[in-house]
Amino acid sequence: MIAFFTKILGRSWLGRVYKVDKPLFLVLALFFAATIGFNVLKLQTTPFFVWHMYSAKMPETATYPYFQITYNHGRVVNLQHTWNEPQKSYLYMPLSRYVYDKAGADTDPFRLYLETWLKKHPRFAGLTRDLTITQHELDSYPAWLRSYLSTVTGGPIDEVTVLQKKVSFDASGAPVEVSSDTVLHLPPYE
């Protein structure tokens, strides 16, 4: 039985790597073991081991939110194509974080986790100082948004308004606006 499995393993890809280059075998075996291990443990310690996108349930709700950015008195940012995603991500993800933090930075789960963790490991306090967003960084965000918007639109940005809209879908599948709240307003330059 052992001979049978040894033969199978020897013919496998890792078995062939082992025969050709033992250090390479070690590196690859560790990499694959880590990939499987960290997924089983549900532990994200590197950017590329855990593959859990869209694994959580996204329940249907009555309304669906999105941010609408208008600039220079009524011009709407409208990135239509999916291949615009890198730009779209930079416009909307930090914005979402900004709005969330403005509403109550004390509820940031990572900040809360870090505070609890540091009570147990006070020696690491110096190393974790730069790992959470400071008030100064949060306050710098609107200026950066104006600057990045200027890069994206290719012109000067005078005024910016961000609306958080909530939309429902009618029977024909068309969106129907339910609410619209201003979450950020950058007044024109004096």
Partner 1 sequence: MNDRQRIVLTRLVTGSLLFLLTLRLLEHATLSGLGTPPLFTVDLDLTYWIYKDSGVPDWLMQHHAAAVTFDICLFGSGLLAFFFPLRRAVILVFALLLFLYSMTFLLFVVDHMGQLNGFMLVLLPFLVAGNVRFTLAWEGMRYLTCLIYFLAFCWKTMWGDSFYYLHQGVSTFKYNLVDYLSLNPGTTMTAVYEWFLRHPWLLNTGEKSLVLVEGIMVVGLFTKRYDRWLIWGPVLIHGLTYFFSDVFYIELLVIDLSFLSIATLDRLAPFLSFGAAPGRIKKENILR
List binders of partner 1 among 50-109 (CB under 8 A): 51-60, 64-68, 76, 78, 80, 82-87, 89-90, 93-94, 96-98
| 44 lines the binding site for partner 1 (CB under 8 A) | yes
Q: Are strands 64-71 and 160-169 parallel, antiparallel or unpaired?
A: antiparallel
- For residue 168, the minimal CB distance to partner 1 (Å) is 9
Euclidean distance between CA atoms 73 and 105, whole angstroms: 30
Is residue 2 a contact residue for partner 1 (CB under 8 A)? no
Asked if 11 interacts with partner 1 (CB under 8 A), we say no
- State the Cα–Cα distance between residues 161 and 76, nearest whole angstrom: 10
At 185 the three-state DSSP class reads: strand
Q: By CB under 8 A, how many residues form the interface with partner 1?
A: 74
Element at 59 (helix H, strand E): none
Shortest Cβ 54–partner 1 spacing (Å): 6
Binding flag, residue 39, partner 1 (CB under 8 A): yes
Residues in 153-182 that interact with partner 1 by CB under 8 A: 165, 167, 169, 171-175, 177
CB of 190 to partner 1, least distance (A): 22
Query: Who's near 108: CB < 8 A, 6+ residues apart?
Result: 100, 101, 132, 133
Nearer residue to partner 1 within complex by CB, 71 or 141: 141
The minimum distance between CB 138 and partner 1, in angstroms, equals 7
Question: Closest CB to partner 1 among 138 and 186?
Answer: 138
Q: Is 179 helix (H, G, I), strand (E, B) or coil?
A: strand
Which x/- pattern, by CB under 8 A, does the window 119-158 give for partner 1? Answer: --------xx-xx-x---xx-xx--x--xx--xx------
Q: Residues 87, 152: contact at Cβ < 8 Å?
A: yes
Beta bridge partners of 186: 160
130/111 Cα distance (integer angstroms): 11
